[in-house]
Amino acid sequence: MNIIDEKLLHVSKQVGEGLQKSTTQTNETLTALKERLAKIDVAQQKISSLSEQVVSLQEVLSNKQARGAFGEIQLNDLVTSILPPSAYEFQVTLSNGKRGDCVLKLPNPPGTIVIDSKFPLESYQALRNAQSDREKLEAERFFKASVLKHVKDISERYIINGETAESALMFLPAESIYAELHANFTDVVEASYRSKVWIVSPTTLMATLNTVRAVLKDAKMREQAGVIQKEVGVLMEDVVRLDKRVENLSSHFDMAAKDIGEIKISSAKISRRIERIEEFEMGEDGKNVLPHHKDIDL
């Protein structure tokens, strides 16, 4: 019986240890599961928040005024991040009463360049959503007409002889629309070239603004070079004037040296005459007689 009891006790101990170990592992698994569920819950909340933001952005873009503000803000951010404040100005009213979204202040040529933001979203969405051939054809016509109208408006409003450059920029705040134009509507792009309106996207505008910054830097260097050249010219005039004054002063010194030499000669003559006076002798007739010397002209 003792052997049986010992075996039962041993088995009971093993079972107890196994249950305890299993319970510990189960608790650890449940804890890890809770942590994962918490992370999933946070991720779902972020997804919900992003979904709301996307919906909000769609609501913004569905409104023309809000969509225009969206493009202007993007244009503002790009320009202010690349160019110095003295090189641009926003919402500038021109002499014809039209107000451009942004004006780039460049030296002549090319001069002042106007950038206007346009966002033909409705026509682009119609183009993307078209299913049948007829819908695609109508959407293409709608898209071309929308873009060409923007090009025409910019050309007529923001290219003014004697006030602005001979060209203007149309900013599309969506790379997809820009890519669609250059991929499938090259005739529209060519028409914009003929109208002197250059269509740019955020990426191409950034490259353009970097070029503008280089032009401004070069113009500034040439301006400073002109200032240096002018100052060198003035300095040369000062050097010539100083040289003339040194020459005059040298002449004065030469004249002074000549005068000093003549004074020395006169002084020597006076000294010799004084010596002769001191050497005079009395004549037999009682008169003072000077030694016979040749008269000396003082």
Tell me, what's the pLDDT at 282? Answer: 46
Tell me, what's the pLDDT at 172? Answer: 92
80 vs 84, 85, 96, CA distance in Å?
A: 7, 7, 26
Q: pTM score, two decimals?
A: 0.56
Q: Which range has highest mean pLDDT (144-148, 227-231, 237-241, 258-262)?
A: 144-148
55 vs 41, 48, 70, 250, CA distance in Å?
A: 21, 11, 15, 90
Residue ranges per structural domain of the chain: 64-219
Residue 220 has pLDDT above 90, yes or no: no
Whose CA is closest to 157, among 146, 168, 141, 147?
A: 168
Residue 59 has pLDDT above 60, yes or no: no
Tell me, what's the pLDDT at 1? Answer: 52
d(CA 181, CA 232): 54
171-181: pLDDT as tens digits: 998 898 999 99
Assigned CATH topology for domain 64-219: Trna Endonuclease; Chain: A, domain 1 (3.40.1350)
Tell me which amino acid residue 107 is. Answer: P
d(CA 229, CA 131): 68
Whose CA is closest to 140, among 122, 129, 127, 121?
A: 127
